[in-house]
Amino acid sequence: MITQFIITPGEQPKRLDVFLVNREREVSRAAIQRLIELGRIRVNDEVVKPSQKIRPGDRITMDVPKPEPLELKGEAIPLEILYEDDVLLVLNKPPGIVVHPAPGNWTGTLVNALLHHFQTSGGTISAIGGKERPGLVHRLDKETSGVMVVAKTDQAHRHLAAQFKHHTITRVYEALVFGVPKKGHGTIELAIGRDIKERKMFSARTARPRESVTDYHVHRRYGKVASHVLLYPRTGRTHQLRVHLTSLSHPILGDLTYGGRKVGTVGGLDIPRVMLHARTLGFEHPTTGEAHEFTRPFPDDMETVSKGLESMIAGA
């Protein structure tokens, strides 16, 4: 697909790849650099380098090839299914599994597991998410565990997606965080978006801030070392809970991306992953209209860290 646009007056000179990565949100900087080097991105019809400085009046032409169709295969990966009927499925996602295929993770994903489940059970799965994300109404990060709902029909997918969009879904997360918030409860209001410098991160330092609101409640304190916090997101931005807790100076334990090395080991206790769990998910059933709510407690690894923190403060 060929796209053309003109650099408008007032645009500050900057590298071509930097400019495009902030404009074309769905394309990574590495992919843009490859396209430039292949001559598929040109400035004023000339082949340039990624470091080429763009200026007002420049005409940029992008020829982005269509992605090759991806043939996903079902894989016999165990699923903890909490509920299933003709139109939806609710499961408890374990930590460490990627939700859908993407570069670097084409196999071993939750989608691969779901395809195998439906192939063997004779069920269907919604096609609205496309070949790479069939049935997925929402996602959890690789290291985040907890309750997810999957649509088996297009009608159920649209109905559930509308509930997420209008924030009528009940969601409760829990996290083990570094230190203890000064207030026992509160609301974090911080608009966030993709970071202007670190493309894999989200922050308030962004060209496209989006409203983000999270309510929180401190459930348990482990001395002054850490705390167990319940989180009630009113919005559903990517990395919202991780960024919001970091903004309070209480990043989630194990979240090296946002919290740095200090949250990887606490008092000699190694933290195996991001200590974030989607505890509760509630929604209106797409066909019956009945209210459904599902809750799963801490997984084993978070329980182990919690007990380790308790032992730490008991022996202090």
Chain center to CA of 275: 14
Residue-level pLDDT at 69: 46
Residues of the chain with CATH 3.30.2350.10: 81-165, 170-314
* Position 133 pLDDT exceeds 90: no
pLDDT one-digit tens code per residue, 85-117: 999 999 999 999 999 877 667 788 999 999 999
- In this prediction, residues 208-216 reach a mean pLDDT of 95
Residues of the chain with CATH 3.10.290.10: 2-63
* H helices present in the chain, as ranges: 16-23, 29-37, 110-121, 154-165, 240-247, 256-259, 300-314
According to DSSP, the residues that pair with 140 across neighbouring strands are none
The residues that are catalytic are: 141
* Position 248 pLDDT exceeds 50: yes
Residues 76, 79, 84, 89, Cα dihedral to 10°: -90
| Residue 226 main-chain phi, psi, to 5 deg | -160, 175
The yes or no reply on domain 170-314 and CATH 3.30.2350.10 is yes
pLDDT one-digit tens code per residue, 135-166: 899 999 999 999 999 999 999 999 999 999 99
- In this prediction, residues 6-17 reach a mean pLDDT of 87
Report whether 222 contacts 302 (CB < 8 A).
Answer: no
Highest mean pLDDT among 55-59, 66-70, 183-187: 183-187
Which of 299, 298, 294 has its CA nearest to residue 169? 294
Task: Categorize the per-residue pLDDT at 64 as very low, low, confident or very high, splitting at 50, 70 and 90.
Answer: confident
Two tokens, residue 17: 């790849």
Which of 211, 172, 176, 175 has its CA nearest to residue 191? 211
The yes or no reply on domain 2-63 and CATH 2.60.40.10 is no
The yes or no reply on domain 81-165 and CATH 3.40.50.280 is no
pTM of the model: 0.77
